[in-house]
Amino acid sequence: MIEVKNLTKQYGHHTAINDLNFSIDAGEIVGFLGPNGAGKTTTMNIMTGFIAATRGDVTINGLDIIAEPEEAKKQIGYLPDTPPVYGDMRVDEYLSFVADIKGVKRTGRKEMLTDIKQKLHIDDVSRRLIKNLSRGYRQRVGLAQAMVGRPRVIIMDEPTIGLDPKQIIEMREVVKGLGRYHTVILSSHIMQEVSAVCDRVMIINKGRIVAQGTPESLSHSLNKSAGKIQIRVKADATQVREALKEFTVIRHINVLESREAGTIDIELAGDEGVDIREPIFRCFAKNNLPLLLMKSMDLSLEEIFLTLTGDLRTQAMGYESPEEEVMQNDSDL
């Protein structure tokens, strides 16, 4: 569906993206994950034909975005990081303008627009001026714009930025729903978001893909603490050590600080390939020490992300809370 080959973009001497290669199949939901300034937006801007690459090709459904821009762009709906809405238009006016510029046929257009508005729950603001809408609604109008004309591919740059938690959950549902008909690419610097909706994740840092795969496989393959288990026992440290003495498969015991009065948290690791969960349960049961919690300590996507993208400074930048940009109203002349 989408082929990206040797994509490079340089701004003067600064290389924004460096020799990117990937392909995306029809119907996939793919997430670009990376700190701010990693090259996600640049990649998306090139894929949608907004800017041109220094080197490399992008083909959408077999159509080259540079050689056949008009046809290729018909296959794409794009929601940039700032929703490209006109404040002085009503939602309905705006969507039919978008349908016009995308060359959507008159027949069935009204039904399509109504359908999109219902899906995104913006049908109740159809007659409102966009400049009077809240950020969340504006974002959804932006997404509605991308869906107009039912393009095969929908590309979204940071679709949940600036939304409140309820809107974020709604937006995730919408994105999941899109996956049934469209191929979806979205970018984010928030891990939960990507792991919640995407079939595949590409972690981008400094203009390169540093890892890709399903959220689970990424988590699995990079899991340095594989097999580690954390437990919480209603006992003290000596009792636990006593109980675990006879327990030979345990390779590593680490007593963590107590989180709950009268209990103790312990990190345990067994030999490779040995499931120690059941023996642990039986061991503590035999010693009459109540086991209150047991969980495996997989690396979260967040930790993988930080491991891959490296230094702490990048981390700090990646986690700056997304300041909501105050949109200027169109009151100029």
Partner 1 sequence: MIAIYKKEIRTYFTQMVGYTFLAFLLLLMGMFFTFVNVFGQSGRFSEVLAAASILFFILVPILTMRLFSEEARHKTDQLLYTSPLSVMQIVLGKFFAAFSLFLMGVALTVIFPLILTRYAIHGLPVSQIAGSYIGFILIGACTIAVGMFISVLTDNQIIAAVATFAAIYVMFIMESIAMTMPVSAVASLVFVAALVLAVAGIWYYSTRHWLSSAVLAVLGVAVAVGLYFYNNLIYDAIIVRVLLWFSLYTRFHLLSFGILNLADLVYYASFAALFVYLTMNIIEKRRWR
Judged by the rule CB under 8 A, the positions of this chain that interact with partner 1 are 11, 45, 48-52, 69-71, 73-74, 76, 78, 80, 82, 84-89, 93, 97-98, 100-103, 145, 327-328, 330, 332-333
Nearer to partner 1, 109 or 176 (CB): 109
Nearer to partner 1, 90 or 277 (CB): 90
Q: Shortest Cβ distance from residue 194 to partner 1 (Å)?
A: 23
CB 284 within 8 A of CB 244: no
Q: Shortest Cβ distance from residue 142 to partner 1 (Å)?
A: 9
Q: Shortest Cβ distance from residue 72 to partner 1 (Å)?
A: 9
Question: Which stretches within the chain are classed as H helix?
Answer: 40-47, 69-74, 91-101, 109-119, 135-147, 165-178, 191-197, 215-221, 237-244, 277-286, 301-309, 312-318
Strand partners, 15: 10
Nearer to partner 1, 116 or 240 (CB): 116
- For residue 119, give both structure tokens: 């899906």
SS3 (DSSP) at 79:
strand
Cα dihedral 71/74/80/86 (nearest 10) = 120
Q: Shortest Cβ distance from residue 151 to partner 1 (Å)?
A: 10
User: Positive or negative CA dihedral for 107, 113, 118, 119?
Assistant: positive
CA neighbor of 141 nearest in space, from 163, 161, 119, 122: 122
Q: Shortest Cβ distance from residue 252 to partner 1 (Å)?
A: 53
Q: Which long-range contacts (CB under 8 A, 24 or more apart) does 170-173 make?
A: 170/121, 171/139, 171/140, 171/143, 172/196, 172/197
Nearer to partner 1, 52 or 169 (CB): 52
Q: Which long-range contacts (CB under 8 A, 24 or more apart) does 259-263 make?
A: 259/232, 260/232, 260/292, 262/234, 263/232, 263/233, 263/234, 263/235, 263/292
- For residue 86, give both structure tokens: 């006109």
Nearer to partner 1, 110 or 252 (CB): 110
Nearer to partner 1, 74 or 232 (CB): 74
Question: Which stretches within 53-206 are classed as H helix?
Answer: 69-74, 91-101, 109-119, 135-147, 165-178, 191-197
Rounded to an integer, what distance in angstroms lies between the CA atom of residue 182 and that of residue 30? 11
Q: Shortest Cβ distance from residue 226 to partner 1 (Å)?
A: 43
Strand partners, 248: none
Q: Shortest Cβ distance from residue 198 to partner 1 (Å)?
A: 22
Nearer to partner 1, 51 or 297 (CB): 51
| H-helix or E-strand spanning residue 103 | none
Q: Shortest Cβ distance from residue 256 to partner 1 (Å)?
A: 48
Nearer to partner 1, 88 or 260 (CB): 88
